[in-house]
Amino acid sequence: MTSNDIVMLEGGPLVDAAGLEDALGWALKPEGLCKDGACVIVSDREALFHGERIDITAVASLLDRPAATDTQSGLVAIGAPREQRRAAVNDMKAPDFVLPNIDGLPMNFSDHRSKKRLLVAFSSW
Amino acid sequence: MIAVAIDEDIPAVRAGCDGITYPVLIDAEHIVAELYAISNVPTVLMIDERDNIVHPNWSAYASDTFRELTGIDSEKQKDHIRAWAKDGTLRMSPDDAKGVVDDLSAEEEEARLVFRIAAKLRRDGDTIGAERNFERANALAPNDWTVRRASQPLRGVNPFGDAFMEIYTEFNEAGRPYHGVTGH
């Protein structure tokens, strides 16, 4: 893993085809939403469009990812696929993530696989 | 041990990490709070060699600083952690551990995303936009400490002052909601 599956987009939720693929890694093709050669059928294609442009929050919803928009600033936040959290809370499987250490160097949680790990969430607040 | 600061204030985190040799990661976007349904700190999980969560979200403490508020004896908690590290003895059976962490509600999930927007706006210098979104996030998840309390230092509010008691009172009135297990 080189980055977490979260997205922050500027300029509102309406994007073109290239913008969609850049942000989510999925392309909207005649056969459906496609990634790495596999496609998900889109039953209501019209619902994804506003005119010529694609509503990325509608696509996120199809991919079972949460999205929130701040209309005034145009920022759109898209969360990780919900299946990652369900793996933790339902299936007791630890989802991977990558974060910088305190000196700014990225570290994958999975770098420490094959060891027992105590994961401690804390804060200064 | 891997410590994750649900925090973007690196100097403040560093101040509490003197002499620590295990990795301390900075989670400014609260990605771990989203992926593991973490609603307060400290939250501790035990994860085995094969990525199985053998002890889910647990309100476990390194010291007795908050014992008056929590009634928790941190030494008893640390004994459970030491036993697991030493010979794999588990505090809860796998059957009991499964399903004890409720998934985030739609509001709690959305609050994390709105918080992320607010934090970005603040970093970009839009304090009005940040405030608008911090308020929206807090309204969505008023008893989620990773949202409401984490927003305080970013809004110029002292998280250890009167504002703490305000959140704490509401949290108690709501029945101390927590995504995980508590106790020794």
Give the one of A84, A115, A123 whose C-beta lies nearest to B7's C-beta. A123
pLDDT score of A2 more than 70: no
Contact between A53 and A46 under an 8 Å Cβ cutoff? The reply is no
Q: Is B125 on the interface with A (CB under 8 A)?
A: no
Distance CA(B93)–CA(B130), nearest Å, equals 44
* Confidence label for B184 from pLDDT (cuts 50, 70 and 90): confident
Closest to A49 in 3D by CA, of A75, A28, A18: A28
Q: Backbone phi, then psi, for B10, in 5-degree steps?
A: -65, -45
For B32, name the nearest residue in chain A, comparing CA atoms only: A97
Please, which residues 50-89 of chain B have a Cβ atom closer than 8 Å to chain A? 50-54, 56, 81, 84-85
pLDDT at B71: 86
* Confidence label for A1 from pLDDT (cuts 50, 70 and 90): low
Q: Is B109 on the interface with A (CB under 8 A)?
A: yes
Determine the distance in angstroms separating the CA of A112 from the nearest CA of chain B, rounded to an integer.
9
Q: pLDDT of B115-168, one tens digit each?
A: 999 999 999 999 999 999 999 999 999 999 999 999 999 999 998 888 899 999
Which helix (H) or strand (E) segment holds residue B132: the answer is helix B127-140
Q: Hey, are the CB atoms on B54 and A4 less than 8 Å from each other?
A: no
ipTM of this predicted complex?
A: 0.96
B26 has which bridge partners? B5
Q: pLDDT of B17-39, one tens digit each?
A: 888 999 999 999 999 999 999 99
Mean pLDDT of B83-92: 96
pLDDT at A65: 97
Distance CA(A65)–CA(A77), nearest Å, equals 10
User: Which residues on chain A are in Cβ contact (under 8 Å) with B52?
Assistant: 92-94
Distance CA(B33)–CA(B39), nearest Å, equals 7
> Between the CA of residue B20 and those of B14, B23, B115, what are the distances in Å?
10, 8, 29
Q: pLDDT of A52-104, one tens digit each?
A: 999 999 999 999 999 999 999 999 999 999 999 999 999 999 999 999 999 99
Q: Hey, are the CB atoms on A100 and B26 less than 8 Å from each other?
A: yes
Which of B21, B29, B46, B53 should we substitute to test contact with A (largest number of A Cβ atoms within 10 Å)? Answer: B53
Q: Hey, are the CB atoms on A116 and B159 less than 8 Å from each other?
A: no
Q: What are the domain boundaries of chain A?
A: 7-82
The residue with greater pLDDT, B164 or B109, is B109
Distance CA(B77)–CA(B73), nearest Å, equals 7
The pTM for the full model equals 0.96
- What is residue A116's DSSP assignment? -
DSSP string, B94-159: HHHHTT-SPPPPHHHHHHHHHHHHHHHHHHTT-HHHHHHHHHHHHHH-TT-TTTHHHHHHHTT--T
Q: Is B131 on the interface with A (CB under 8 A)?
A: no
